[in-house]
Amino acid sequence: MDCLVLLNGDSGTLKTTDLNVFEKHISTEFNNAGHSVTLIRIDEMGMEKALEKASESPAELLVAAGGDGTVSALAELAWKSGRALGVLPCGTMNLYASTLKMPGDVFEAVTALARGQEDFADVATANGKLFINQYAVGFHPRAVKLRNTMNYGSRIGKIWATLKALLSVMTDPPSIAVEMSVDETEPQFEEITALSISNNLLGTGHELFADLYNGHLLGVYRTPRVRPIEAVKLILDLIVGTWAGNEKVLIEDARQLSVRFPQKKSNAKALIDGELVDLPDVIKFDMHDDALRVWVPQSDASGHE
């Protein structure tokens, strides 16, 4: 199979990895598995140019070696072009790599991917824009916006900066007015501190990623307006993985969801797969079953253990 690897040398894990050794390992493992492979360095040409080259490539398997932002961008290209997506855990959080049951070590993940097999994964869209992990409004985007003003030079540094930003935001939790309609029910108005829509239901006891990639349901997680002390408890529960038991976290599943922000500020932001974007006045979320070809370790096809 012809394979194309988009490698982001600026991503969290790769900042402390010998890229020459890593690139050689990719070529060796894919060649040994009978694949041809071409590598493109995102950090050398920029994401837009790298995606343009990937779009023009005849490769059947597109591999994202970067963070979840890189994965999301390449997933949209793979989805729209009908090609398969492979993921290497080279970022800070590597949430979608975890959903696909990829090994956490990047060198082991290369070997597992080279010897992998195809399966089909769901994708979610927000106003037609694909996301593979989460679309977040409120608390999380505000924290990321603050974190982006901080200096950090490694994966650990980025995690620490994120924690500092969360601690800062929770002293003055946001309050956002929303009208939500779940699966075409009558819209309900409320004020929230956080809203997160996930591509498949999030697992518990670990970081915020889905345990299945083909469960065919959106996860709808919202936190009504909270006081600072309640925000502190929520952050602690998020850190240790006990957030699902927090009484302020309301959980639903859905096939589709419509959200309107009647009092939205002009500079309001949302977070889509870790990347800040402008928040629209209205968002329509949809689930697309088995819409994305994915390349996964052989023992993990079908999205189950």
At 152 the pLDDT is 66
CATH of the domain at 16: 3.40.50.10330
Tell me, yes or no, whether 112 and 143 share the same domain: no
What span, in angstroms and rounded, lies between the C-alpha atoms of 22 and 28?
10
pLDDT for 303: 46
What is the residue range of 231's domain? 131-289
Contact 11, 66 (CB under 8 A): yes
pLDDT of residue 305: 40
Q: Residue 255 corresponds to which tokens in the numbers above? A: 């096939």
Whether 150 and 183 share a structural domain = yes
Residues 138 and 70 in one domain: no
Do 112 and 45 share a structural domain?
yes
Assigned token pair, 152: 């950090």
Residues 203, 199: Cα–Cα separation, whole Å? 12
Query: How high is the pLDDT of residue 162?
Result: 73
268 located within any domain: yes
Q: Which CATH number belongs to the domain containing residue 141 in this structure?
A: 2.60.200.40
The DSSP annotation for the chain comes to -EEEEEE-TTSTGGGGS-HHHHHHHHHHHHHHTT-EEEEEEHHHH-HHHHHHHHHH---SEEEEEE-HHHHHHHHHHHHHHT-EEEEEE-SSS-HHHHHTT--SSHHHHHHHHHT-EEEEEEEEEETTEEESSEEEEEHHHHHHHHHTTS---SHHHHHHHHHHHHHHHTTS---EEEEEEETTPPPEEEEEEEEEEEESPBPSSSSS-BS-S----EEEEEEE---HHHHHHHHHHHHHT-GGG-TT-EEEEESEEEEE-TT--TT-EEEETTEEEEPPSEEEEEEEEEEEEEEE-GGGTTS--
**Residue 126 resides in a domain:** no
Q: Identify the sign of the CA torsion 187, 218, 142, 222.
A: positive
149 belongs to a structural domain: yes
Same domain, 112 and 136: no
Query: pTM for the whole thing?
Result: 0.89
Overall number of domains in the chain: 2
- Which residues does 34 contact at the CB level (< 8 Å), separation at least 6? 1
Burial classification of residue 9, based on how many CB atoms lie within 10 Å of its CB (0-12 exposed, 13-18 middle, 19 or more buried): middle
- If asked whether residues 88 and 200 sit together in one domain, one would say no
Indicate if 246 and 107 belong to the same structural domain.
Answer: no
Residues 207, 213, 219, 223, Cα dihedral to 10°: 10
Residues 284 and 140 in one domain: yes
Q: Is residue 305 part of a domain?
A: no
> Same structural domain for residues 102 and 187?
no
* Last residue within a domain, chosen from 72, 88, 116: 116
What residues have CB less than 8 Å from 105, skipping those under 6 apart? none
Per residue in 254-303, pLDDT tens? 999 999 999 998 899 999 998 999 999 999 999 999 999 999 998 755 44
- Does 206 fall in a domain? yes
Residue at 267 is within a domain: yes
Which pLDDT score is estimated for 154? 62
At 254, list the tokens.
Answer: 């859905």
C-alpha–C-alpha distance, residues 289 and 40, integer Å: 30
Q: Are residues 101 and 191 in the same domain?
A: no
Rounded to whole angstroms, the Cα distance separating 72 from 93 reads 13
CB atoms within 10 A of CB 70: 27
Q: Does 75 map to a domain?
A: yes
Does one domain contain both 60 and 83? yes
Within this chain, do residues 280 and 149 fall inside the same structural domain, yes or no?
Answer: yes
Residuewise pLDDT in 10s, the chain (305 residues): 999 999 999 888 888 899 999 999 999 999 999 999 999 999 999 999 999 999 999 999 999 999 989 999 999 999 999 999 999 999 988 999 999 999 999 999 999 999 999 999 999 999 999 999 999 999 888 888 777 777 666 666 667 677 777 777 777 888 899 999 999 899 999 999 999 999 999 998 888 999 999 999 999 999 999 888 888 888 888 878 888 999 999 999 999 999 999 999 889 999 999 899 999 999 999 999 999 999 999 875 544 44
**Which residues share a beta bridge with 243?**
none
